[in-house]
A and B are shown apart, each in its own frame.
Chain A
Amino acid sequence: EDKVVQSPLSLVVHEGDTVTLNCSYEVTNFRSLLWYKQEKKAPTFLFMLTSSGIEKKSGRLSSILDKKELFSILNITATQTGDSAVYLCAVAYNSNYQLIWGAGTKLIIKP
């Protein structure tokens, strides 16, 4: 069965801390892995990763994919209260353009 598992399910840290969120997957014919941030309703796109070992970076956020061990991590450095959100991981697989989603990691940043 194709699946995407995120860990931890929730995380509480203080402003300024660095966090690492994990996404592991088991899918048929992996294509790409995507990270989204969901604050209230609409998930907003962060990164798409297709190749192993190539870090994608945007400000304080970065992500990398390991296709051998079938996982990705999302790092957030110098966290701010505005980083509080649910972070979702999704995987594109097979030759269709359907995404399978993890349950998300709820990140709470305390001032």
Chain B
Amino acid sequence: DAGVTQSPTHLIKTRGQQVTLRCSPKSGHDTVSWYQQALGQGPQFIFQYYEEEERQRGNFPDRFSGHQFPNYSSELNVNALLLGDSALYLCASSQFYLYEQYFGPGTRLTVT
């Protein structure tokens, strides 16, 4: 049973560029949540997708957007990258009516 997968593992971008991160949820899960985790901090909730719609959103600017596909996989897009966007981006999947989330290995984004 494949767990949550994310790609790419690492990414280096320049300020002002755009980036797309990808996530495939655990088999049987229909909900994907995205988190940003800075060094030494807990995950910060970006948004959650269910039934191809953004259901919840944390305190992140519109530069952060996402998408969920019919196969439940998801993308996180960040436009106009800032140095402060450098972080570990975690994807977590779950079943919509359950709180327990399973995490992928994350994408380490470095903005220079």
Bind each other = yes
Name A's B-contacting residues (CB within 8 A).
Answer: 4, 6, 31-32, 34, 36, 41-45, 48, 88, 90, 92, 96-104
> Are A97 and B98 in contact (CB-based, < 8 A)?
yes
> Are A32 and B105 in contact (CB-based, < 8 A)?
no
> Are A97 and B104 in contact (CB-based, < 8 A)?
no
Among all A-B residue pairs, the 3 with the closest Cβ atoms: A101-B42, A42-B103, A92-B99
Cα separation A97 to B48 with both chains bound (whole Å):
9
Most buried by B among A31, A34, A43, A100: A43
Q: Interface majority SS on A: helix, strand, loop or mixed?
A: strand
Cα separation A105 to B41 with both chains bound (whole Å):
10
Name B's A-contacting residues (CB within 8 A).
Answer: 4, 31, 33, 35, 40-45, 48, 55-56, 58, 88, 90, 94, 96-106
Cα separation A97 to B105 with both chains bound (whole Å):
21
B94 CB contacts on chain A under 8 angstroms: 97
The closest CB in chain A to the CB of B45 belongs to A98
A101 CB contacts on chain B under 8 angstroms: 35, 42-45
Q: B56 touches which one: A36, A43, A98, A103 (CB < 8 A)?
A: A98
Cα separation A32 to B97 with both chains bound (whole Å):
13
> Are A97 and B103 in contact (CB-based, < 8 A)?
no
> Are B100 and A104 in contact (CB-based, < 8 A)?
no
13 A-B contact pairs sorted by A residue (CB < 8 Å): A34-B101, A42-B90, A45-B100, A96-B56, A97-B48, A97-B97, A97-B98, A98-B45, A98-B48, A102-B42, A103-B40, A103-B42, A104-B42
Cα separation A2 to B27 with both chains bound (whole Å):
32
B41 CB contacts on chain A under 8 angstroms: 103-104
Give chain A nearest CB distance to B86 CB in angstroms.
15
B101 CB contacts on chain A under 8 angstroms: 34, 45, 99
The closest CB in chain B to the CB of A93 belongs to B99
Cα separation A43 to B88 with both chains bound (whole Å):
12
